[in-house]
Chain A
Amino acid sequence: MGIALRGWAFALGAVGTASLAGCQTESAPPPVAAIPSVTSDQIIGKWGLASYHRDSDRDRTIKEARAQCNKPYVIGKGPSGGVMMYLADQPQLSELVLKAGPDGKTYLGPPGDAGTADDRQVLDVDPASFTTIWVDPDNAARYGTMVYERCGKRA
């Protein structure tokens, strides 16, 4: 008897599920992570690093960054395909990934959502340079806009 009731319950449940499925409107597809416009390989290497707070200082900051290759900021490849870089105020390297934000911007930070406080926004990428600015307003105010200029032979 118990087994028979459980069988009816299962059957009713299956019918109910099928009926609900038949009534459902088309659900949104699961989110697919957008592919960032910048790849890890583009930023791996040795860089001269300099920063500025006022746009009027950008040009000379770029020149200063090129002059800093005797103390390069080294970006290596991470074990999971990301890049090894420093987060703000952290002297230990972390593996970071490039992320495409819903706003169409490219971010660099720990795996997860794009545009969070630990992320940097990545701007103006070309083979010889790129620029980042911290998403966190406090970090952005303290460190300013950071310019990376590739060390070694320039294309």
Chain B
Amino acid sequence: MTVRARVLARAAAAAIAAAAMVLPGLFATAQQIDMNVVDQPGYQPTPGEEQLTGAYERQEVFFRTSEPPGTIIIDTNQRFLYLVQPNNRALRYGIGVGRQGFQWSGLERIARKQEWPDWRPPPEMIERQPYLPRFMAGGPGNPLGARAMYLGKTVYRIHGTNQPQTIGHAVSSGCFRLVNEDVTDLYDRVPVGTKVIIKQAVAL
């Protein structure tokens, strides 16, 4: 294990402990935290790492819904984002979702779009990792990736990531992350005002 890997592992443990202490009043489920990972600001994944395979690879699928084409439907439990297409079809993207205690459901609209968004680590992250810059200008290696779409007046976004290995996992603070190629594809397809439905099945 490299020094950096050890540091990240320690930081991940601290992050999970902190998350357990500060569960917000969102719609928490019994879903397990299935990946111990912290942000890796500045990390630039290789093209190979960014290439998703299998179910999480972007693909057109059969999808029955009463929502009109152009609507985004996020299935938190399945880790998929659907962009509804005509004729019972949808484009399906693999996503990373909020970790336990940071998942939510609701109806929002895309309020703003941003290419290469800037990143500001939250205060609790600065507390854990005081060596971080308090602001990182957007660009390759930025944890928010290549594009961001802001959801209504919430603090949540659909955004890219520099950690493609987190797709399919519950890792975020409530945002939805796609690999940069996918978030760029989605960004180019949807305008401001797009309806976004965030679904989350209640675990029994």
Contact = CB atoms under 8 A, between A and B. Distances in A.
A84 B105 CA distance: 45
B130 A141 contact: no
Secondary structure of the B contact surface, majority rule: loop
B24 interface: no
Interface size bracket, B side: 20 to 34
A142 B128 CA distance: 18
Contacts of A146: 133
Interface string B109-131: 00000000010000100101111
Interface stretch (B38-46, B89-97, B189-197): B38-46
Contacts, number: 80
B107 interface: no
Given A50-B135, A52-B139, A143-B133, 15 more contacts: A48-B134, A49-B134, A50-B137, A51-B137, A52-B136, A52-B137, A64-B137, A68-B135, A71-B123, A71-B134, A89-B131, A90-B7, A91-B128, A141-B42, A143-B41
A65 B123 CA distance: 15
Contact of B137 (A60, A73, A142): A60
B61 to A, nearest CB: 36
A144 interface: yes
A53 interface: yes
A88 to B, nearest CB: 7
B153 interface: no
B134 A142 contact: no
Contacts of A68: 134-135
B135 A51 contact: yes
A89 B133 contact: no
Contact of A91 (B131, B138, B139): B131
B42 A143 contact: yes
Interface of B: 3-4, 7-8, 11, 40-44, 118, 123, 126, 128-131, 133-142
Contact of A57 (B4, B7, B139): B139
A50 B133 contact: yes
Interface string A32-68: 0000000000000000111111100100110011011
Contact of B136 (A51, A67, A88): A51
A90 B135 contact: no
Contacts of B130: 73, 86, 91
Contacts of B133: 49-51, 143-144, 146
15 contacts: A51-B135, A51-B137, A53-B42, A53-B141, A71-B123, A73-B134, A86-B131, A89-B7, A89-B129, A90-B131, A91-B11, A91-B130, A143-B41, A143-B42, A144-B139
A6 B42 CA distance: 69
A89 B3 CA distance: 9
A88 B128 CA distance: 13
B78 to A, nearest CB: 32
